Amino acid sequence: MAKSKTKFEKIAFVASEVSEAREALLRLSDRYGAVEPSEADAIVALGGDGLMLATLHRFMNDRIPIYGMNRGSVGFLMNEYREDDLLERLAAAEMSRVHPLSMVAYDAQGKASKALAINEVSLFRERYQAAKLRISIDGKVRMEELICDGVLVATPAGSTAYNLSAYGPILPINAQLLALTPISPFRPRRWRGALLPNKAQISISALEHEKRPVSAVADANEMRNVVRVDIEQARTIDLFMMFDTGHNLDERILAEQFRY
């Protein structure tokens, strides 16, 4: 987690569709001025975690730091909303660099569909029957058959989202790890998942895919009836998220592990 050394003078604002966010956009734009994102030193995103993810996807390859302020419901990835001293907060913010996951999903005809995920890549059963999945890591089969509702691969940034709801581990934002977490595993019943190095190449195959169809989802991008999904970290893509001093993502992840 590095301190920002940039002087942020040109700011772009984006907002979700909720009224609180739209009203905040108008007030902040009037107070601090606003430029187009292509001209900005930083983008201020006004909304909840969904807007932050959408903004990160929208500017995936632009290397523009994004500072979120919570005008939504959850706001785990957002800073506290305050209208005063925005330029000073940006200048003092701590910068987190994260990498998305790259997913390539193949259908029965061999057609490949690609997508990127900031939080997680998930595989889900499509029908009433459980999915049967084979998991390979770096070309070696590590689990011959997992019978489950699904499985997901989460980044540190996504480890407190769906991964946490599926009883997966919380990862510090700078951990060089990925979480592989089963969703309602039936066999092996007691398998709780695995921690993988972030350089791992993960391949998950759907067994009996015609009888037990499986969907793959990269954040909100879904592909249906997949037979194999290859997942790895997109290390050439850098995403920059900004957090107030003392309230950075590492601190939030640490605090989340002591909630009861």
Is 106 within any annotated ligand binding site? no
93 and 172, same domain (yes or no)? no
Per the structure, the count of domains in the chain is 2
What is the CATH number for 9? 3.40.50.10330
CA distances from 126 to 45, 63, 114, 162, 215 (A): 34, 36, 20, 18, 6
CATH number, domain containing residue 205: 2.60.200.30
The reply to whether 84 and 105 lie within a common domain is no
Q: Looking at the predicted structure, is the pLDDT value of residue 141 above 60?
A: yes
Averaged pLDDT, 15-24: 96
**Band of the pLDDT at 3, cuts 50, 70, 90?**
low
Is 86 found in the same domain as 17? yes
pLDDT of 7 reads 74
**Full domain range(s) for residue 61:** 2-99+238-256
Domain match, 82 and 95 both: yes
120 is in an annotated binding site: yes
On whether both 169 and 51 belong to a single domain, the answer is no
Is 92 annotated to bind ligand? no
pTM of this structure: 0.87
Q: What is the pLDDT of residue 258?
A: 76
194 plus 113 within the same structural domain? yes
Residue, of 72 and 153, whose pLDDT is higher: 153
94 with 105, same domain: the answer is no
Whether 232 and 196 have beta carbons less than 8 Å apart is answered as no
- Beta carbons of 237 and 114 less than 8 angstroms apart: no
- Place 190 in a pLDDT band, splitting at 50, 70 and 90: confident
**CA of 226: how far to CAs of 29, 52, 103, 192, in Å?**
44, 28, 12, 24
Q: Is 90 annotated as a binding residue?
A: no
238 is catalytic: no
108 shares its domain with 217:
yes
User: Do 175 and 224 belong to one domain?
Assistant: yes
Q: Is 165 known to sit in a ligand binding site?
A: yes
Flag whether 221 is marked binding.
yes
Q: Residue type for 195, please?
A: L
| Domain match, 53 and 159 both | no
**113 shares a domain with 217:** yes
Supply the DSSP symbol for 245. Answer: T
Shared domain for 220 and 203, answered yes or no, is yes
Q: Which of 30, 41, 49, 85 is catalytic?
A: 49
For 8-31, letters b (16+ CB in 10 Å) and e give beebbbbbbebeebeebbeebbee
Half-sphere CA count of 55, side-chain side, radius 13 A:
27
